[in-house]
Structure 1
Amino acid sequence: MALTMKVEGADALKSDIFHLKKRFERFNKQGVSIGYIEAKSLKRKGTPVTNLKIATWQTYGTHTIPPRPYLKPALLTNEKRIHEILEQALVDEGLSGKTGAVNKALNVVGMLVRDTAKQNIVDQRNFVPLAPATIAARKRQDFKGTKALIRTGALLNAIQYVVDKK
């Protein structure tokens, strides 16, 4: 038994491409946001400074804080895996009709990047160590930790993801 495909002219091919394009069009409206997204992840107890503001300072640095990025490296570390996950989901849902495959894949990607970002903070991956003055100030406040970005855990615990269904 042979598998054959017969294309009868350009109009038939155009029609197939049009229907395939329509089928995949809805996926342009989906995505995943990872970081400090909702109001509950932005607020910090007892201070007007938000997690988003602190994350920005830590990512890009300030005149007194060296850059310690953790979100973008989490995305870049997993880039190949993310492409594989999303590619398979598009095939599963777009071509095979497996409903919900893209949404499930976006949740997997969100968890993967979020968890890697948190691990980057815990492991201090490529972070500049805290300055001796910062460590001394922490000790004066009875805090013995010497890891950057982990004083209260608020910044670490506030990282989240949301699958966008636009």
Structure 2
Amino acid sequence: MKITTDNVAQVLASIQELASKQVMVGIPATKAEREEGDDEPINNAQLGYIHEYGAPASNIPPRPFLIPGVAHAQDKINNHLQKAAKAAMDGNAEKVDVELNATGLVAQAGAKFEINNGIFEELKKSTLAARRKRGRTGVKPLIDTGQLRNSITYVIRKKD
């Protein structure tokens, strides 16, 4: 005896759910604030943008970490997105969410890895002197307190 079940509605709902979501990686406004007591007048999202693209008027060179970090993780990201698509075709909405979260984690890790290991223009002597004055000894660009790196996260949102 052969039993056939009609799960077309479940599959279509799962595909629609996947198609309506997007994984976004970066520094969302809700995670952008710097710790209390910092002298920085800007938040982590603004600081991340400045470092990603540079600020010529302030003599800050670009030190991109987000776009290259995600790009270096693209094969792993694509693997999880393919698994999400397969799960949607199987009607497994729960697995779709698991794979979208895995996608976000991989992309987030890629950006953080880039901050830790990327090759950036060296810090200026004045920046190093300012760090030493604050009791910091690190010379790595983009890493002073670690707040910028630690603020990188991902969110899964409904597409607009």
TM normalised by structure 1 equals 0.78
Task: Give the equivalent residue in structure 1 for 2:78.
Answer: 83
1:33 match: 24
1:163 corresponds to 2:133? no
Partner of 2:137: 144
Distance 1:116 1:23 in 2: 28
**Distance 1:161-1:23 versus aligned 2 partners, 3 A rule:** closer
Equivalent residues in 2 for 1:50-65 (5 A)? Answer: 50-63=43-56, 64-65=59-60
CA distance in 1, matches of 2:24, 2:11: 27
Offset from partner CA, 1:24-77 (integer Å, 9 cap, x none): 2332211112111142x1111334311011001100011211111111112111
Asked which structure has the greater CA Rg, the reply is 1
Which consecutive residues of structure 2, in runs of 5 or more, have no partner in the other structure? 1-7
- Could you state the TM-score of these two structures normalised by the residue count of structure 2? 0.80
Q: Say if 2:102 is the partner of 1:112.
A: no
- The percent identity for this pair of structures is 30
Runs of 4+, deviation exceeding 6 Å: 19-22
SS at match of 1:31: strand
Q: Is there any run of 5+ residues in structure 1 with no aligned partner, and where?
A: 1-15
Aligned-partner residue type, residue 126 of structure 2: A
Paired residue for 1:3?
none
Tell me, in whole angstroms, the C-alpha distance in 1 between the residues paired with 2:11 and 2:104. 27
CA distance in 2, matches of 1:23, 1:42: 33
CA, structure 1 residues 102+151, in 2 after alignment: closer, same or farther (shift >3 Å)?
same
